[in-house]
Amino acid sequence: MPRNETSNLQFIKDSIKRIFPNAQAIALAIILIVGFLLITSLSDVLMPVFIAIVLAYLLEGMVRKLEHKIKRLPAVFIVFSGFMGAFSYLLFGLMPMLYKQLKQLLQHTPDIIKSSQAEILKLPEAYPQFISADKLSEFMFAIQQEALNYGQDLLGFSASSVVGIISALVYLILVPVLILFCLKDKRLLLDWFAKFMPRDRLLSINVWAEVDMQLGNYVRGKFVEVMILGLASFMTFSVLGLNYAVLLSVFMGLSVIIPYVGATLVTFPVLGVAFFQWGFSNDEFMYIVIAYSIIQAIDGVVLVPLLFSEAVNLHPVAIIVAILFFGGLWGFWGVFFAIPLATLVKAVTSAWPRLDDKMDTFEM
């Protein structure tokens, strides 16, 4: 064999050995690749299963706490009953109210846009050297048309999509049943699943232990943050007399699920409703602006450091990149699970062995 081909072959072998220095690294890579392919290819078919697994994982923490006092099976039924009670209230109590307010808000969206447009069109008179009246009118008209089309599509989908209604009914039946079995038969399911895993998987177990710890802290903290922010917003908006207080409070609570991006997006409906209700010059509008700013400041300065001091430690740039990447890959669910997926990537890259590492020194 010529010397060049031999050196190239040796270089390839060395490169592979550096990337996969031992059997545990290969096992972890196989698990990640197979898991990614399964989720990507079967996400549409098995979405109820994925949702049930995620919700069962969230409820598992409460089951473990009750297990210190009672046996697992009664603990599972107590936690599941509480979950179903909260789910029933959300489905039959809160959702109709939210749908009604959302429908009203969408119906008033053209009026909100027209009011905003009238104020914005005054800008060329004040700053003619910077803003052209014709260009601004074209821009505002385009925004108005897009908003109207979006609102009509949303209402049409929610009211007449037979496929969407059938899918929702299937989810409502299947997901709770799957959650119950995931909680009740957790050990049985894990033992069955372990039969298909590589035997030499210590590294994979260590990576999951790191992800499980950080993800548990993150999820618990995020749930508390959503509840506190939503309740604080509802009380504030109700006291100040803002329309659609329940809907906007839910928006405020859910906005924290998508870091940085959510807080920016929720600003527009809150201030848009306040402007349409009172106008710029009214004191009530300024009260809403001040109250909204205080709520966001308390969330960023107090709640986040307090709730997530031991949770996921990711740089803001990494979080934004994760949201863009996984959102582009899996849409809404990719955005929703961007932080957990980024946590998994961080844990894998941190724990991945190097050529000179000793596997018996891995401790998470």
Whether residue 85 is found in the same domain as residue 229? no
Rounded CA-CA distance 109/149 in Å is 11
Residues 175 and 46 in one domain: yes
Within this chain, do residues 69 and 164 fall inside the same structural domain, yes or no? yes
Average pLDDT, the chain: 76
pLDDT attached to residue 233: 92
Please give the residue that has the higher pLDDT: either 167 or 327.
327
247 and 310 share one domain: yes
> Is 363 contained in some domain?
no
Domain check: are 174 and 212 in the same one? no
The domain boundary residue, chosen from 185, 210, 232: 185
* pLDDT of the residue at 234: 92
Residue 268, pLDDT > 60, answer yes
Q: Do 167 and 215 fall into the same domain?
A: no
Residue 263's nearest CA partner among 296, 290, 231 is 296
Between the alpha carbon of residue 299 and those of residues 219, 239, 352, the distances in Å are 16, 20, 35
pLDDT of residue 232: 92
Q: Are residues 147 and 283 in the same domain?
A: no
Residue 350 lies in a domain: yes
Q: Which of 151, 185, 219 is the last residue of a domain?
A: 185
**Domain final residue pick, 161, 185, 209:** 185
Within a domain: 62: yes
- Are 181 and 205 part of one and the same domain? no
Q: What is the pLDDT of residue 360?
A: 44
DSSP-assigned letter for residue 354:
P
Instruction: Note the pTM of the prediction, 2 decimals.
Output: 0.68
Kindly tell me the sign of the dihedral angle through the C-alpha atoms of 205, 207, 213, 217.
negative
Each residue of 231-260: pLDDT tens digit? 999 999 999 999 889 989 998 988 887 776
Q: Which residues contact 326 (CB under 8 A, 6 or more apart)?
A: 334, 335, 337, 338, 341, 342
- Domain-located, residue 168: yes
Kindly give, in sequence order, each residue whose CB lies less than 8 Å from that of residue 104, ignoring residues fewer than 6 positions away. 244
Clarify whether residues 218 and 180 are in a common domain: no
- How many separate domains does the chain show? 2
Using CA atoms, how far apart are residues 203 and 348, in angstroms rounded to an integer?
A: 9
Which is nearest to 98 in space by CA: 186, 158, 56? Answer: 158
222 and 303 share a domain?
Answer: yes
Give the residue with greater pLDDT, 129 vs 301.
Answer: 301
Does the residue 9 lie in any domain? no
Residue 4 lies in a domain: no
The pLDDT of residue 157 is above 60 = no
Q: Does residue 151 belong to any structural domain of this protein?
A: yes
Distance CA 284, CA 88 (A): 36
Please indicate, yes or no, whether residues 66 and 98 belong to a single structural domain of this protein: yes
CB distance 112 to 276 below 8 Å: yes
Residue 160 has pLDDT above 50, yes or no: no
Where in the sequence is the domain holding 138, given as residue range(s)? 22-185
